[in-house]
Each structure stands twice: as structure tokens, then as C-alpha cells.
């Protein structure tokens, strides 16, 4: 059996995404990082989450801002978003088609750009930056290229995800891990990561890879360390 490519706008994305989130501290670490950043902002008027997913980060930060805007084009994820963040203004179109209406004190785009054509990354970054108030923060989160997840992706023919050379940013790296008790769940999470590969990946090869690289005394453990890129104005 092969692992297919994942379409982030389709219904097939929801289940593997949920499995990944249930077995990692990545989201918790991200929310903690954003908590610390929010506390240092000169104003907390508006927060924009561009690619809000199921709304975990929106729900976590909404009470710290006067107004929260959640951009999420995937209808399956948006159904959870509405329940998790009922006070947020939800925008149901992709980033380049969105118009928040005003600038924000924090613009956050977490683990979204993988699903965007690399030729359009600069357009997306410019758009996110245009939504950011002059003394606000524009932050893009991506997995660190040396994390186990990204190394695995490249081992199976997937791409590297550097920011465009024209983008200037200050980067903070925050460790995070995936931990599962069993191989079946580890394979499901690997399928989520390898859904970014350009060609289908054979399940047997991934099983061997996980067993040899990530088997631990308590199951399977591999890193999904994050880079938080603070985009310069």
C-alpha cells in the first residue's frame, strides 16, 4: 500500500492531521511561544491566524486580543474551528483571497506554507506582512529542516522548505516531538508528513524506516522541532 499525497483543502486531510496533533507537543509548544510573544506586544487589538485549522491556537489566544480573525479555507477543519473559537471572525477563503479589513498586532501563519506552491511563497509572505501593524509581529512557523520529520520527508523524495532569499527574518527554534506507543499510529503520522512528497511512498519502506530510526523503549519517538520566523517589515 502506498501513502498518497495529501490535499490540505480536502476532507482526507482532517483525520491524519488530528492523529498528528494527538501525539505531539508541537501545538502546545507553539501556543506557549505565542503566549510569551503576545505578552510583549505594545498593543493587543487584533490577532490574525492565517491557516487556523481546527482553531486550537485561535481559541488559546482569542481572550488576549480585542478581535480575532481566523482564515481557514478547508471546510472540514472550519467546522471544528467554529466550535472551538466561537468569538472569532472566520474567513473561508485562501490567504491571497482574504481581506481582513484592517491591520493586526499579531499575524501568525503556522505550518501552512508547505501546502502552497513555492513560487507563491513570497506573495503569501508579502500579504501577511501587509496585514501587520507597523509595531506588530508577523510570524511564520515551519518545521526546522533538521527535524526528524523533515529529514524523513527528504529521504523519501520530498522537498526542502527554506524561506525565499528575499525574505528577511529573525528565527527562534523550539524543540518538539512526536511520541506514539505503537507502529500503526507512527505509520499514520508518517503518512501525514509524507503526504507532502511529490510521489506516493510505499508503506513497507516507511515501516522499516520508522523501526530502524525511531523505535524507542516506550514506542516511537521522533522530532518535529519548529522554527518561528519573525518577518522583517
The pLDDT tens digits of the residues spanning 151-164 come to 999 999 999 999 99
Domain count, the chain: 1
Q: How far apart are CA 71 and CA 74, in angstroms?
A: 9
Mean pLDDT of the chain: 94
Q: How confident is the model at residue 21 (pLDDT cuts 50, 70, 90)?
A: very high
- Whether 47 has a pLDDT exceeding 90, the answer reads yes
pLDDT at 32 over 60: yes
Per DSSP, the residues of the chain read -EEPPP-TTSGGGHHHHHHHHHTBSHHHHHHHHHHHHHHH-S--SEEEEET-TTSHHHHHHGGGSSEEEEE---HHHHHHHHHH-TTSEEE-S-GGG---SS-EEEEEEES-GGGS-GGGHHHHHHHHHHTEEEEEEEEEEEE-TTSHHHHHHHHTTPPP-PPPTT--EEEEEE--EEEESSHHHHHHHHHHHHTTSSS-EEHHHHHHHHHHHHEETTEEEEE--EEEEEE--
Structural domain that includes position 102 = 2-231
Percent of the chain with pLDDT over 70: 95
In the prediction, which pLDDT does 10 show? 65
The residues pairing with 110 across neighbouring beta strands, listed in sequence order, are 141
Mean pLDDT on 115-135: 97
Write the pLDDT tens digit of every residue in 137-148.
999 999 999 999
Q: What is the pTM of this model?
A: 0.94
Mean pLDDT check: name the lowest of 77-81, 127-131, 138-142. 77-81
CATH number of residue 155's parent domain: 3.40.50.150
Amino acid at each position: 500500500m502506498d501513502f498518497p499525497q495529501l490535499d490540505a483543502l480536502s476532507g482526507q486531510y482532517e483525520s491524519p492531521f488530528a492523529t498528528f496533533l494527538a501525539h505531539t507537543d508541537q501545538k502546545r509548544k507553539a501556543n506557549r511561544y505565542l503566549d510569551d510573544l503576545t505578552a510583549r506586544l505594545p498593543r493587543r487589538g487584533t490577532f490574525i491566524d492565517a491557516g487556523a485549522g481546527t482553531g486550537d491556537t485561535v481559541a488559546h489566544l482569542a481572550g488576549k486580543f480585542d478581535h480575532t480573525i481566523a482564515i481557514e479555507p478547508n471546510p472540514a477543519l472550519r467546522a471544528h474551528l467554529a466550535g472551538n473559537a466561537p468569538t472569532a471572525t472566520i474567513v473561508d477563503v485562501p490567504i491571497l483571497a482574504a481581506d481582513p479589513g484592517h491591520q493586526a498586532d499579531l499575524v501568525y501563519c503556522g505550518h501552512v506554507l508547505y501546502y502552497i506552491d513555492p513560487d507563491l511563497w513570497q506573495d503569501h509572505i508579502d500579504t501577511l506582512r501587509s496585514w501587520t501593524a507597523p509595531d506588530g509581529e508577523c510570524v511564520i512557523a515551519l518545521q526546522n529542516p533538521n527535524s526528524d520529520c523533515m529529514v524523513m520527508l527528504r529521504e523519501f523524495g520530498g522537498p526542502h522548505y527554506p524561506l525565499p532569499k528575499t525574505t528577511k527574518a529573525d528565527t527562534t527554534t523550539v524543540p518538539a516531538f512526536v511520541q506514539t506507543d505503537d507502529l500503526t499510529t507512527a505509520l499514520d503520522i508518517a503518512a501525514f508528513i509524507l503526504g507532502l512528497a511529490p510521489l506516493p511512498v510505499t508503506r513497507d519502506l516507511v515501516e522499516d524506516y520508522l523501526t530502524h530510526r525511531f523505535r524507542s523503549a516506550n514506542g516511537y519517538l521522533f522530532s518535529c522541532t519548529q522554527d518561528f520566523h519573525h518577518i522583517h517589515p
